[in-house]
Structure 1
Amino acid sequence: MYAILDIETTGGKYNEEGITEIAIYKYDGHQVVDQFISLVNPEREIQPFVVNLTGINSNMLRNAPKFYEIAKRIVEITEDCILVAHNAQFDYRILGTEFRRLGFDYIRPSLCSVELSKQLIPGQPSYSLGKLVRSLGIPVSDRHRASGDALATLKLFKLLLDKDSSKSIIQQSIKLNPKHQLEPRHLDILADLPSETGVYYIHNAEGNIIYIGKSKNIKKRINQHFTNTNRKSKQIQNLVDSVSYETTGSELVALLKESEAIKTIKPKFNRALRRTRFTHALYSFTDDNGYINLKIDIADGRKKPITTFSNRDSGKSFINHAVEDYNLCQKLTGIYQTKTSCFNYDIKECNGACIGKESPESYNERVYKLIAKSSYANQNMVIIDRGRDIDERSAILIENGVFKGIGFFNLNYQINNLEILQSIITPMQNNRDTQHIIQSYLRKNKRLKVINFD
């Protein structure tokens, strides 16, 4: 992670300068993930030649924050980052001076884009920022202002990364700023975890569950929790005392167990997953001519959906495939807004329900097939998926359209009637989230074995 930096100062005697403006762009090697730009009240006079150069004068800075007011933000945005600046020695020295005035040692690894440019783009007539970026065709605005110069440095740095065929910048960066190292207690926890699909529970010293998650590889996912540097991961790292888990074999079982456990236990760090997992749904209505219309809309708890989707794009993709697979009308599925025929009719791929050419009975028969395939309403069925061992399978029971629970059975034990199945099922809650999880999983895994009961 890099922090692309530019600072404007008051000018003056060495180590007596003050910052008048600062811009920092946090760059992950692919995109800007955070930024901070601010004028700064330096609490000292600005040299006249600097005013002429930057356009920043004392009147502009009268109500600007003083350095101590933005120091914490600078520390946070540059934490675990390598500072990159054009003539980095100057910017790093100015920052260090300001922090020392606050009694704080500011230490960060740094890279200088001047030195890198001399290595990777030799023979340039000048390596000053303005002349260099112009010669390289890099657009620059607000020259001699912190934001404009920092953005120009960012664009230059991207070019330098592209030109660095030996990847020496990346290798040097890793040496300057090694990855977060695991603490011994974290290594001890990881040693006992499996690389299997299941649900995991992170406990604090009191044994309370502070986070619940699911993964196809529990060990790998916990390792990510222990090495990530985001705020939530760091909090978990500080509080974790142990991790318990249960393997499921089936990702669907893991999803259902995770959902129920989060709703029941309400762990401290699972706030986001307590909310509903879907935003859009598929609804149907019959128009005045007797045709069943389908519509993707925002999920409404007062209406009963056919199926649900995590986002609008997922819903649009579903309905587009449905039109193709079931030969449905674009107009009656909300894809093509028109008062006459749909586009597919014009190219002879629609039977004409949009203009009353195909009978409602004939058209609706195909819609019913789609609805039956997409929804398990009023159905008695069991979904068979992977188990925890080679000779085991998982069973997800749906009874009269209601999710009843999950269980595991040995392949030598034949599931042939509802009573036997009910005896191995662990009851679980049926709610809109479980319906969404099951329907979404069925859409994505079309080869799943599904047994229907009378």
Structure 2
Amino acid sequence: MNFETWPALFVIDVEGNGGNPPDLVEAAALPVRNGIPDTSAARSWLVRPPHPVTPFAARVHGHTNASLAGCPTWKQVADKARRLLGGAWMCAHNAHVDYKVMTAHLPGWQPAGVLDTLRLSRATYPDLPKHSLDALIDHLKPDLSQAPGQRHRATFDAYATAQVLLAMAARYESWEQLVAAAVPPGLPGAPEPDKEDTLW
């Protein structure tokens, strides 16, 4: 894989307040350039949600209503996120979730394409019993010594996702092969299905 052929790409991770649909409490965007996570250009935002954080969500990511009380609202940071992401590709683990949340919070924003490391893992390691981010970390053992924060914080999870993405991508010969394996049907960037010749 020649990583220099990759288009602009951000690994994204979001944490929510536990609502349905969720309000953002944290979002992280980590660019990957030439096969390296560019932490110097990464950005993250802690957000005070319009609705309270549920106890279950607080236990998962550690954000509480009290800890977020002094943070800006999403409306105050949305333009910064929109400018940063532009029309680049995005990658996330179980990307349907992050894509749905981000497009709901950034109306009109559309990435060029969406890579899903969960889908990529199932294609790359079909015999792996589990394909969660934790399972991939255990299987691939990426160097996470420079990961900011801790597991289930958006900054840490974005960094970990970037590392497992790069480890799996190295097994593919081209960007096009990676896209074919990693983009879920129906999401931006999915390859067009082959059209069979018909009489009609």
Q: TM-score, normalised by structure 1?
A: 0.35
Could you tell me which of 110, 114, 128 is aligned with 2:114?
110
Q: Deviations over 1:158-180 (max 9, x none)?
A: 1122111354126889x939xxx
Q: Taking structure 1 as reference, are residues 86 and 27 closer, same or farther at Cα in structure 2, changes over 3 Å only?
A: same
Question: Does residue 59 of the first structure (1) align with residue 66 of the second (2)?
Answer: yes
Query: Given that residues 7 and 146 in structure 1 are in contact (C-alpha distance below 8 angstroms), is that contact kept between their aligned partners in structure 2?
Result: yes
Q: Report SS of the residue matched to 1:91.
A: helix
Superposed counterparts of 1:286-435, under 5 Å? none
Amino acid at match of 2:110: I
Q: Report SS of the residue matched to 1:4.
A: strand
Structure 2 residue aligned with 1:42: 49
Structure 2 residue aligned with 1:72: 79
Query: Given that residues 9 and 19 in structure 1 are in contact (C-alpha distance below 8 angstroms), is that contact kept between their aligned partners in structure 2?
Result: yes
Q: Report SS of the residue matched to 1:124.
A: coil
Query: Given that residues 17 and 25 in structure 2 are in contact (C-alpha distance below 8 angstroms), is that contact kept between their aligned partners in structure 1?
Result: yes
**Higher strand content, 1 or 2:** 1
The whole-number CA distance in structure 2 between the counterparts of 1:125 and 1:172 is 19
The whole-number CA distance in structure 2 between the counterparts of 1:171 and 1:44 is 38
Query: Given that residues 34 and 77 in structure 1 are in contact (C-alpha distance below 8 angstroms), is that contact kept between their aligned partners in structure 2?
Result: no
The whole-number CA distance in structure 1 between the counterparts of 2:34 and 2:99 is 21
Q: Deviations over 1:98-123 (max 9, x none)?
A: 23xxxx32211211110011112221
Could you tell me which of 161, 170, 192 is aligned with 2:169?
161
Query: Given that residues 11 and 46 in structure 1 are in contact (C-alpha distance below 8 angstroms), is that contact kept between their aligned partners in structure 2?
Result: yes
Could you tell me which of 167, 176, 187 is aligned with 2:189?
176
Could you tell me which of 128, 136, 139 is aligned with 2:140?
136
The answer for unaligned runs of 5 or more in structure 1 is 178-454
Taking only the aligned residue pairs, the percentage that are identical comes to: 23
For CA contacts below 8 A with separation 6 or more, give which structure has more relative contact order: 2
Query: Given that residues 23 and 51 in structure 2 are in contact (C-alpha distance below 8 angstroms), is that contact kept between their aligned partners in structure 1?
Result: yes
Q: Taking structure 1 as reference, are residues 139 and 83 closer, same or farther at Cα in structure 2, changes over 3 Å only?
A: same
Question: Does residue 2 of the first structure (1) align with residue 5 of the second (2)?
Answer: no
Query: Given that residues 85 and 113 in structure 1 are in contact (C-alpha distance below 8 angstroms), is that contact kept between their aligned partners in structure 2?
Result: yes
The whole-number CA distance in structure 1 between the counterparts of 2:137 and 2:84 is 26
Amino acid at match of 2:116: C
Structure 2 residue aligned with 1:119: 123
Structure 2 residue aligned with 1:98: 105
The whole-number CA distance in structure 1 between the counterparts of 2:102 and 2:180 is 26
Q: Taking structure 1 as reference, are residues 138 and 172 closer, same or farther at Cα in structure 2, changes over 3 Å only?
A: closer
Query: Given that residues 119 and 181 in structure 2 are in contact (C-alpha distance below 8 angstroms), is that contact kept between their aligned partners in structure 1?
Result: no
Structure 2 residue aligned with 1:30: 35
Structure with larger Rg: 1
Q: TM-score, normalised by structure 2?
A: 0.77
The whole-number CA distance in structure 2 between the counterparts of 1:122 and 1:166 is 20
Structure 2 residue aligned with 1:19: 24
Q: Taking structure 1 as reference, are residues 127 and 171 closer, same or farther at Cα in structure 2, changes over 3 Å only?
A: closer
Q: RMSD value over aligned CA atoms?
A: 2.2
The whole-number CA distance in structure 1 between the counterparts of 2:99 and 2:32 is 18
The answer for unaligned runs of 5 or more in structure 2 is 1-7, 183-187, 191-200
Query: Given that residues 23 and 35 in structure 1 are in contact (C-alpha distance below 8 angstroms), is that contact kept between their aligned partners in structure 2?
Result: yes
Question: Does residue 151 of the first structure (1) align with residue 165 of the second (2)?
Answer: no
The whole-number CA distance in structure 1 between the counterparts of 2:129 and 2:142 is 16
Query: Given that residues 87 and 110 in structure 2 are in contact (C-alpha distance below 8 angstroms), is that contact kept between their aligned partners in structure 1?
Result: no
Query: Given that residues 2 and 29 in structure 1 are in contact (C-alpha distance below 8 angstroms), is that contact kept between their aligned partners in structure 2?
Result: no
Q: Report SS of the residue matched to 1:176.
A: coil
The whole-number CA distance in structure 2 between the counterparts of 1:170 and 1:87 is 15
Q: Report SS of the residue matched to 2:48.
A: coil
Q: Report SS of the residue matched to 2:31.
A: strand
Amino acid at match of 1:107: Q
Q: Report SS of the residue matched to 2:66.
A: helix
Amino acid at match of 1:27: V
The whole-number CA distance in structure 1 between the counterparts of 2:57 and 2:167 is 29
Amino acid at match of 1:105: G
Q: Report SS of the residue matched to 1:160.
A: helix
Point out 4+ residue stretches in structure 1 off by more than 4 angstroms: 170-173
Query: Given that residues 18 and 53 in structure 2 are in contact (C-alpha distance below 8 angstroms), is that contact kept between their aligned partners in structure 1?
Result: yes
